[in-house]
């Protein structure tokens, strides 16, 4: 079944326009009476049928509306320092397919890429397309570059469980009041609830600085690492988001 993104699902007849209409008309070549699914990115979907088409619009009659829950009980936000070039677009696409609730672009001391609003709008389009492909009703909330300490402060206010992805150092001591529980490969250590609000911190190519790691640990973060290798930013985001989202189905 074809999925199509629309801003809202209230009228009985919905006009699909712009890029969505172009995709339906010229890529998928939909025809009158063809059934499809409309979604607004906030969990609401509608079964619909194509009633008519024009050169630039597709008119769909709603048959039935419903609300869908998130696929995962864990509401995971990934705060990640944006990688350069097309790697950022790829990462947004894959995190969306995994079903993360939010993506925050994280401003760290070593961050070198700062996407502007025009790029953000294109990335939101990427997320919407990924939802269509994976048939998910929720588009992740994509937020602009936000300074590291502000992200931590907001997370504490939301009472999220915080995880920071950072390689372990022998005999390192980061944070005076830090929880020293470590989330190792594929295993979620005790001390983190299986479900609820989680924040995953992913650093830039140069990694987090020691003060940034200390700040996260002092805020109660658990440290997560991949033994034997230093992962690139987008790889780490995908790998560790997968582990945290899948942990609800594991015995801890």
Mean pLDDT, range 137-159, rounded to an integer: 96
Q: Rounded to an integer, what distance in angstroms lies between the CA atom of residue 52 and that of residue 33?
A: 8
| Confidence (pLDDT) at 146 | 97
Q: Are residues 170 and 210 in the same domain?
A: yes
The domain that contains 141 carries what CATH number? 3.40.1280.10
Mean pLDDT of 54-76: 93
- Predicted pLDDT of residue 252: 32
Domain boundary among 67, 89, 120: 67
CA angle 96, 209, 166 (to 5 degrees): 50
Q: Are 24 and 2 in contact (CB under 8 A)?
A: yes
Q: Judge if 232 and 160 occupy the same domain.
A: yes
Q: What is the CATH number of the domain that holds 7?
A: 2.40.240.20
* Share of residues in the chain with pLDDT > 90 (%): 81
The string of pLDDT tens digits covering residues 90-136 is 999 999 999 999 999 999 999 999 999 999 999 999 999 999 999 99
The reported pLDDT for the residue numbered 73 is 81
Of 13, 45, 67, which one is at a domain's C-terminal end?
67
Of 68, 122, 133, give the one whose Cα is nearest residue 98: 133
Closest alpha carbon to 246 in 204, 181, 183: 183
DSSP string, 226-249: -TT----HHHHHHHHHHHHHHGGG
Question: Are 103 and 51 found together in one domain?
Answer: no
Burial (CB < 10 A; 0-12, 13-18, 19+), residue 24, is buried
* Spatial separation of the C-alpha atoms in residues 67 and 70, rounded to whole Å: 10
Where does a domain end: 67, 92, 120? Answer: 67
């Amino acid at each position: 079944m074809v999925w199509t993104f629309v801003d809202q699902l209230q009228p009985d007849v919905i006009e699909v326009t712009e890029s969505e209409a172009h995709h339906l008309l010229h890529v998928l070549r939909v025809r009158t009476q063809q059934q499809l699914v409309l979604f607004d990115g906030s969990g609401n979907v509608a079964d619909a049928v194509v009633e008519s088409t024009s050169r630039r619009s597709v008119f769909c009659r709603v048959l039935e509306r419903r609300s869908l829950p998130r696929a995962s009980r864990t509401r995971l936000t990934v705060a990640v320092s944006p990688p350069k070039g097309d790697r950022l677009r790829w990462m947004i696409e894959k995190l969306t397919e995994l079903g993360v609730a939010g993506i925050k672009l994280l401003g760290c001391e070593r961050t070198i890429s700062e996407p502007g609003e025009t790029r953000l709008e294109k990335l939101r389009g990427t997320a919407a397309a990924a939802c269509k492909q994976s048939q998910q009703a929720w588009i992740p909330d994509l937020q602009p570059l936000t300074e590291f300490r502000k992200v931590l402060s907001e997370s504490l206010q939301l009472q999220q469980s915080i995880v920071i992805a950072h390689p372990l150092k022998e005999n390192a001591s980061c944070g005076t009041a830090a929880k020293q529980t470590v989330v190792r490969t594929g295993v979620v250590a005790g001390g983190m609830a299986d479900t609820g609000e989680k924040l995953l911190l992913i650093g830039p190519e140069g990694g987090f600085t020691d003060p940034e790691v200390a700040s996260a640990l002092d805020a109660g973060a658990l440290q997560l690492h991949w033994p034997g290798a230093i992962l690139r930013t987008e790889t780490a985001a995908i790998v560790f988001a997968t582990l945290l989202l899948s942990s609800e189905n594991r015995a801890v």
